[in-house]
Each structure stands twice: as C-alpha cells, then as structure tokens.
C-alpha cells in the first residue's frame, strides 16, 4: 500500500468533469484507489462517490493505492490533482 497527501488547486474542486476524468483514469488500474477526506474514505474509481464527498478547492486529501500497480496509480492520481485536472 502506498499513499500521499495532496491539496486540490482547481477552483471548482472535485466536480463533475474533474471527478469524471479522475475516476476514469483510476478505473484503468487493478489497484484499489481510496481518497481519504475529512475522516471518511471514498472509492476513487467512483465518480458518484467523489461528487457526494463534496471536496472543495483548497482541501487536502490523502490518496491511498493498494494492489499490484499501486505505484503507477498513485503517481497518476497525484499528478492529476496537482495539475488542477488541466483546468
């Protein structure tokens, strides 16, 4: 299992488009991807759960990946968030 803390920098936070592209990107990996936010754990492959978590700009989240390709998954997850989902 690997994990890293990142802060959301895009103005809209984890919304429709960012959450959609994030979930789709994570869906390619075999590892489980979890977003830890405000004490609760969110399935990082589920757009609906990410939206429901209501993670706004400026929030810090922990990304936890666990599985055979965990390092690659974490690397892509962190870079997507740090780059503000290309916004």
Residues with active-site annotation: 15
Using the contact rule CB under 8 A, the part of the chain among 14-22, 29-37, 65-73, 79-87 near another protein is 14-22
Residue 47 or 65: the one with the smaller Cβ distance to another protein is 47
Q: Determine if 51 is a binding residue for another protein (CB under 8 A).
A: yes
Using the contact rule CB under 8 A, the part of the chain among 2-10, 33-41, 43-51, 67-75 near another protein is 43-51
Least Å distance, CB 31 to another protein, is: 14
Tell me the torsion sign for CA atoms 40, 53, 82, 18. positive
DSSP states along the chain: -EEEEEE--STT-S-HHHHHHHHHHHHTSSSEEEEEETTEEEETT-HHHHHHHT--TT-EEEEEEESTTHHHHHHHHHHHHHTGGG-
Chain positions contacting another protein, by CB under 8 A: 11-13, 15-17, 20, 23-24, 27, 43, 45-49, 51-52, 54, 56-57
């Amino acid at each position: 299992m690997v994990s890293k803390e990142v802060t959301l920098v895009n103005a809209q936070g984890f919304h429709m488009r960012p959450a959609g592209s994030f979930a789709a990107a994570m869906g390619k990996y075999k590892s489980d991807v979890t977003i830890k936010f405000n004490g609760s754990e969110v399935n990082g492959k589920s757009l609906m759960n990410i939206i429901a978590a209501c993670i706004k700009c400026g929030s810090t989240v922990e990304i936890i990946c666990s599985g055979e390709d965990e390092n690659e998954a974490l690397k892509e997850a962190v870079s997507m968030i740090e780059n503000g989902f290309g916004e």
